[in-house]
């Protein structure tokens, strides 16, 4: 029996201020739409209220919509008290372009996943369109300190190396079973598998991808 668990990561580079410049790992959220193959630059803000983003920012009269000509807004929030997906949804509704969730304990990065299926989460999970990522607690504290000190913190999220391709082919896998229960997005996921069939065959025959299906039965 062989198994492995992979935390999908992308690079996060702080480009200013000078004193905290550097590149860090972040764990891509398992919902929303990461910009695979691309990157996104933005300015990080840390809200003075609703810092865990478990409530609507409308309740606090807070908006993260970028002004015309300015960089997109990346909102830094704290982990805890509610689902990761709910935090991202609330920030998206307030106009942000991406979400960074600061871990609340010192640990290796984990994947922010969908909550267990329930009617309250179903109505927003499928409508999350912005990317999100979990960052380490220490790095989160560094960003908060810089922001509270009045610095404009600019970062670049880079997804170009997120998909494994050691031999210049994108490697991807599909896990399913004879009693597949894929949750609130099941119909959409199954439709995607069917719709993607033709493109997948073309990519595989062209040598651009390496696809490994896993079908579990008993």
Residue 80: CB partners within 8 Å, gap ≥ 6? 52, 104
Per-residue model confidence as pLDDT tens digits over 70-105:
899 999 999 998 889 899 999 999 999 999 999 998
Place of tokens 């913190």: 153
DSSP state of 136: -
3-class state of residue 25 by DSSP: strand
3-class state of residue 140 by DSSP: helix
User: What CATH number does domain 12-158 carry, 3.30.930.10, 3.40.50.720, 2.40.50.140, 3.50.30.30?
Assistant: 3.50.30.30
How many CB atoms are closer than 10 A to CB 108? 9
H or E element that contains 122: helix 119-125
Tokens at 169, concatenated: 């082919």
Backbone angles phi, psi at 20, to 5 degrees: -120, 15
Q: In this structure, are residues 134 and 103 in contact, taking their beta carbons and an 8 Å threshold?
A: yes
Q: Residues 197-218: what's their mean pLDDT?
A: 89
- Specify the pTM: 0.75
How many angstroms separate the Cα of 32 from the Cα of each of 91, 188, 193?
12, 14, 18
Domain positions in the chain are 12-158, 170-216
Tokens at 189, concatenated: 């996921």
pLDDT at 46: 96
As a whole number of angstroms, the longest Cα–Cα distance in the chain is 59
* Among 106, 117, 108, 130, CA closest to 83: 117
Per-residue model confidence as pLDDT tens digits over 19-71:
999 999 888 888 888 887 788 999 999 999 999 999 999 999 999 998 888 89
Cα dihedral across residues 163, 66, 78, 13: positive or negative: positive
**Exposure string (b/e) for 128-141, b if CB count within 10 Å is 16 or more?**
bebbbbbbbeebbe
pLDDT at 90: 95
């Amino acid at each position: 029996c062989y198994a492995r668990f992979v935390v999908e990561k992308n690079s996060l580079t702080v480009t200013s201020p000078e004193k905290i410049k550097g590149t860090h790992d972040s764990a891509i959220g398992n919902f929303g739409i990461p910009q695979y193959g691309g990157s996104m630059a933005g300015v990080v803000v840390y809200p003075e209220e609703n810092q865990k983003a478990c409530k609507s920012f409308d309740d606090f009269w807070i908006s993260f919509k970028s002004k015309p000509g300015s960089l997109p807004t990346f909102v830094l929030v704290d982990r805890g008290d509610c689902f990761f997906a709910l935090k991202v949804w609330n920030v998206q509704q307030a106009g942000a372009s991406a979400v960074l969730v600061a871990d609340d304990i010192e640990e290796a990065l984990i994947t922010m996943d969908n909550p267990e299926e329930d009617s309250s989460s179903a109505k927003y999970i499928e409508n999350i369109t912005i990317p999100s990522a979990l960052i380490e607690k220490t790095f989160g504290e560094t960003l908060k300190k810089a922001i509270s000190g009045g610095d404009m913190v600019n970062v670049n999220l880079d997804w170009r190396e997120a998909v494994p391709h050691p031999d210049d082919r994108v490697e991807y896998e599909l896990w399913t079973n004879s009693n597949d229960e894929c949750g609130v997005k099941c119909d959409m996921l199954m439709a995607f598998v069917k719709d993607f069939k033709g493109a997948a065959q073309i990519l595989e025959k062209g040598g651009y991808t390496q696809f490994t299906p896993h079908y579990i039965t008993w």
